[in-house]
Structure 1
Amino acid sequence: MQHFDLLVIGAGSGGVRASRIAANLGAKVAVAEERYLGGTCVNVGCVPKKLFVYASHFSDLYSQARGFGWSVANPQLSWATLRESKDREIERLNGVYANLLDNAGVTLLEGHARLLGDKRVMVGAEEVSADRIIIAVGGWPFVPEFPGREHVIDSNDVFFLDELPDEIVIVGGGYIAAEFAGIFNGLGVKTHLVYRGDLFLRGFDDDIRLFMAEQMRAKGIHVHFNADVTSIDLDDAGIRNVTLNNAEVLTAGQVMYATGRRPLLDNLGLEATKVSLTAKGTIEVDDDFATREPGVYAIGDVVGRAELTPVALAEGMALARNLFGEAGQSVNYDLIPTAVFTQPNIGTVGLGEAAARERFGEIAVYQSSFKPMQLSLTDSNERCLIKVIVDVASDKVLGCHMVGPEAGEIIQGLAVAMTAGATKADFDRTIGVHPTLAEEFVTLREAVR
């Protein structure tokens, strides 16, 4: 039986980072993986989705080019070319991850891992043991039960469609649903977004949510709030008839569900251990990512503190260093910059207005909305929104929020400033880069409320 200082179950972002850090600190490390290297992010998440986002931008760019004097005649999309190009890039990245593990001296064990208890794990047909075990298996799309469920795809399936539908219904109100609504709309598909709540993107600043809904409608996305699917029927022509709870019927070639994700705990063997779950179904861990089973830890989406790739990376790094290096490492969950690659993009870091007012009381809100310069010569009606939230007592910047081109790129720099404790006075005395969208964050002078 092979024995390791550390066995990581799952070769996603958090698992690979933890294994590499531990190996570099001198530990004998193995990673068990049954599907693909890189996890959700590389294979059916952030990376292929962003490639699709880039592809979907071209329809806007072709349209806007005319205002700048360019003549673009009858552009056509080849879905097969896009999908195959994406597949090649993902295959390349799988190889990169394999090299990262190999170069760090990490042993890759291919197969499904199941905990046996007493620090033993069955990986495929091989039993191994380890002094410490990290569960980093990530999550999997969740689709609720309803009549016609078999006629839908989820956020994994969407990357492998044989052909692009003429019309699609996307069900969900999170960032995945919002992003794919923009992707399909940009690729020329008539797109419906159906969400059971009053307004999508729960947890984001309310002004951002309202503004994004307006921008989506302006781009031609059919947004259906306070609506849910009751049933789906498939006709002989392959068309899905989607009945909503308001009696409206939508017809589409595809229906995609993006209604959340669940921890991927299937046949993991938790019953052989003292590992416990929270009420949300995630693995319960303490501040050091330790479960109730001695020597067993968990990180990433399976813990559910913040289901984002950079958070899993940070958790994996902190845990590996605590176990094999200098103890006392932790992860700051208060300032997590986030981008939603809708069209236009959303970028946000820190507190939204309602949360800031509840926590700090008296706040000042600085806000501006305008048409970006890059669209000034076009007939586009797309607009930007810039918002900064400040604690009046300390002058500390509590939140920065943006809807507009390259919002994710811009918000990263602001996250550095806020992590360093920047105040509104620091923003005000910073010289802007002109003419840019980003300079708006340092030129807002009058609070709107």
Structure 2
Amino acid sequence: MKKQYDLIVIGTGSAGAGVATACSKEDWKVAIIDSRAYGGTCALRGCDPKKVLVGAAEIIDCNERMQGKGIQEQPTINWADLIAFKETFVEDIPPAHEKKLQEAGVDTFHGFASFVSEDTVQVGDDQLTGKHILIATGAKPAPLSIEGEQYLANSDDFLNLEQLPSTIVFVGGGYISMEFAHIAVRAGAEVHIVHHGDQPLSKFDPDLVDELVERSRELGIQFHLNTEIESITQLADHQYKVKATQNSDQQQSIEIECGLVVHGAGRVANIDQLQLDQANIVSEKQGITVNEYLQSTSNPRVYAAGDVAATKGLPLTPIASMESQAVRQNLLQHNVQIPDYKVMPSIVFTIPKLASVGMTAEEAQKLGDHIKINDMDTSSWYTYKRTNEKHTRIKVIIDTKAKKVLGAHILSGEADDLINHFATAIQFDLNIDEWKKTIYGYPTAMSDLSYFLEE
């Protein structure tokens, strides 16, 4: 069946659904398509359900740290119960999400979308033609081209495990591997991370990453760095052998038998099934090529937002939401808003958490002698000593001439909340002297601010 629309949105996550609703409220005829349950990665199979599991792991960690300091009994994680609890945060989202879109006047479609021309998309038996089209299909695990790749589980699989295997191998040293490793090891699994580089989390401050790796090793997480996966073979149902080679002075072969091998080696734009060539849509390694207004450079009726678009933005939910807001304005008012990537706080929900915003120490050191880097081991400070956190550290990058914070990098249980204060300061160019006048509740993590900002 052929149908005409003012706007077709492909994807129902953070980058897509808001645009569909906003345009429908302006009396546009809007359709939205998704091949999976409505709601997107973050809400259904990413940040939100992951943090439910992290919450349980944090309870285990806190109890372990406080043993002999007032806490006597150590709880354990019942994995099946935890997954069932996680599911209560997920199960109602798809129907509620679709109902909300329909109530806003949006036509909803289920199935894989593929272009058949510059303005027409095929989904099932329907051909939808749109004056405008927004691609917001997110990302998927990157192909690794290794023997036995078909045996790799992905992050979706891990979040839906009915039983936790006794041994797990994570391939790659990014967010997914590090966060899930910290969950799994505290749930009792033997955990290995196999990473091709000499340090995981390559985009974060290397000193803080080293500290996090030290803590991870204390927990029993085994790192195989500078190591390449050679093959994955299936030994029996749910049993696998991972063969890898460690690149050192003398190459060393490694074999690990496990119950699960998880892909944590990066993601790529989810565009393979869209048939972009049929619509004259150009893409690159990072995703769909767009201009500053998130408009396709080769097909102006098409926009892209979120992880599928090749922009300056990090692959984070708040960035997808910000780009979504820009697209809705650019559709309704014809290219009036350029996304602002000045501040992009990023958090790894390991235990302790690792957070970053703004300029790195390496970048700042190139600016001159008016840059000061406050690098502080905070493990002996009251804020962290009271819960026996032994691996906490902060780096704050200050422009002493302009009296502004240029960046912050934090490792601690409080890092996720603290980083947002620094994000606000950088976004609004807060003067350090003015910022210090703020009175924060005491004793809290933010009441340490004046020490962080010493010039």
Q: TM-score, normalised by structure 1?
A: 0.92
Could you tell me how far 1:395 is from its partner in structure 2?
2.1
Contact 2:378–2:384 (8 Å) recurs in 1: no
**CA deviation vs aligned residue, 1:357-379 (integer Å, no higher than 9, x gap):** 3356741011211226466466x
Contact 1:363–1:390 (8 Å) recurs in 2: yes
Residue in structure 1 matched with residue 350 of structure 2 by the alignment: 342
Residue in structure 2 matched with residue 282 of structure 1 by the alignment: 287
Gaps of 5+ in 1: none
**Is 1:272 aligned to 2:273, yes or no?**
no
Matched position secondary structure for 2:372: strand
Matched position secondary structure for 1:48: helix
**CA deviation vs aligned residue, 1:38-63 (integer Å, no higher than 9, x gap):** 11112221111111111222222332
Could you tell me how far 1:419 is from its partner in structure 2?
0.7
Matched position secondary structure for 2:89: helix
C-alpha distance in 1 between matches for 2:102 and 2:236 = 51
Contact 2:231–2:242 (8 Å) recurs in 1: yes
Could you tell me how far 1:67 is from its partner in structure 2?
4.3
Could you tell me how far 1:66 is from its partner in structure 2?
4.1
Residue in structure 2 matched with residue 314 of structure 1 by the alignment: 322
C-alpha distance in 2 between matches for 1:195 and 1:399 = 27
Contact 1:139–1:262 (8 Å) recurs in 2: yes
Please identify runs of 4+ aligned residues in structure 1 that moved more than 6 A: none
C-alpha distance in 2 between matches for 1:250 and 1:36 = 35
Could you tell me how far 1:426 is from its partner in structure 2?
3.3
C-alpha distance in 1 between matches for 2:76 and 2:177 = 25
- Compared CA separation, residues 64 and 203, structure 1 to 2 (3 A): closer
Could you tell me how far 1:189 is from its partner in structure 2?
1.2
Residue in structure 1 matched with residue 110 of structure 2 by the alignment: 110
Could you tell me how far 1:343 is from its partner in structure 2?
0.8
- Compared CA separation, residues 143 and 187, structure 1 to 2 (3 A): farther
Query: What are the residue-to-residue correspondences of 1:163-242 with 2, within 5 Å?
Result: 163-236=163-236, 239-242=239-242
Could you tell me how far 1:242 is from its partner in structure 2?
2.2
Matched position secondary structure for 1:210: helix
181-190 or 237-246, larger mean C-alpha shift: 237-246
C-alpha distance in 2 between matches for 1:230 and 1:104 = 51
Residue in structure 2 matched with residue 295 of structure 1 by the alignment: 301
Residue in structure 1 matched with residue 50 of structure 2 by the alignment: 49
127-136 or 231-240, larger mean C-alpha shift: 231-240
- Compared CA separation, residues 374 and 391, structure 1 to 2 (3 A): closer
Contact 2:137–2:308 (8 Å) recurs in 1: yes
Matched position secondary structure for 1:8: strand
Contact 1:136–1:299 (8 Å) recurs in 2: yes
Contact 1:395–1:424 (8 Å) recurs in 2: yes
Number of corresponding residues: 444
- Compared CA separation, residues 68 and 265, structure 1 to 2 (3 A): same
C-alpha distance in 1 between matches for 2:305 and 2:205 = 27
Contact 1:432–1:443 (8 Å) recurs in 2: no
Could you tell me how far 1:35 is from its partner in structure 2?
0.8
Residue in structure 2 matched with residue 122 of structure 1 by the alignment: 122
Could you tell me how far 1:324 is from its partner in structure 2?
0.9
Q: TM-score, normalised by structure 2?
A: 0.91
Identical pairs, percent: 31
- Compared CA separation, residues 207 and 337, structure 1 to 2 (3 A): same
**Is 1:58 aligned to 2:80, yes or no?**
no
Contact 2:286–2:310 (8 Å) recurs in 1: no
C-alpha distance in 1 between matches for 2:348 and 2:444 = 20
Contact 1:318–1:330 (8 Å) recurs in 2: yes
Structure 2 residue identity aligned to 1:193: I
Matched position secondary structure for 1:90: coil
C-alpha distance in 2 between matches for 1:204 and 1:110 = 38
C-alpha distance in 2 between matches for 1:435 and 1:93 = 38
Matched position secondary structure for 1:26: coil
Structure 1 residue identity aligned to 2:278: A
Could you tell me how far 1:241 is from its partner in structure 2?
2.8
C-alpha distance in 2 between matches for 1:60 and 1:2 = 55
Query: What are the residue-to-residue correspondences of 1:12-161 with 2, within 5 Å?
Result: 12-67=13-68, 69-72=70-73, 75-161=75-161
Gaps of 5+ in 2: 247-252
Matched position secondary structure for 2:413: coil
Residue in structure 1 matched with residue 249 of structure 2 by the alignment: none
Could you tell me how far 1:156 is from its partner in structure 2?
2.3
Could you tell me how far 1:185 is from its partner in structure 2?
1.4
**Is 1:390 aligned to 2:391, yes or no?**
no
Could you tell me how far 1:163 is from its partner in structure 2?
1.4
142-151 or 119-128, larger mean C-alpha shift: 142-151
352-361 or 187-196, larger mean C-alpha shift: 352-361
C-alpha distance in 1 between matches for 2:393 and 2:44 = 32
Query: What are the residue-to-residue correspondences of 1:365-444 with 2, within 5 Å?
Result: 365-371=373-379, 373=382, 376=385, 380=388, 382-444=390-452
Could you tell me how far 1:118 is from its partner in structure 2?
4.1
Could you tell me how far 1:89 is from its partner in structure 2?
1.9
C-alpha distance in 2 between matches for 1:48 and 1:405 = 19
Matched position secondary structure for 2:447: helix
**CA deviation vs aligned residue, 1:341-390 (integer Å, no higher than 9, x gap):** 01101122111111223356741011211226466466x56321122101
Structure 1 residue identity aligned to 2:136: A
Structure 2 residue identity aligned to 1:414: F
Could you tell me how far 1:233 is from its partner in structure 2?
3.4
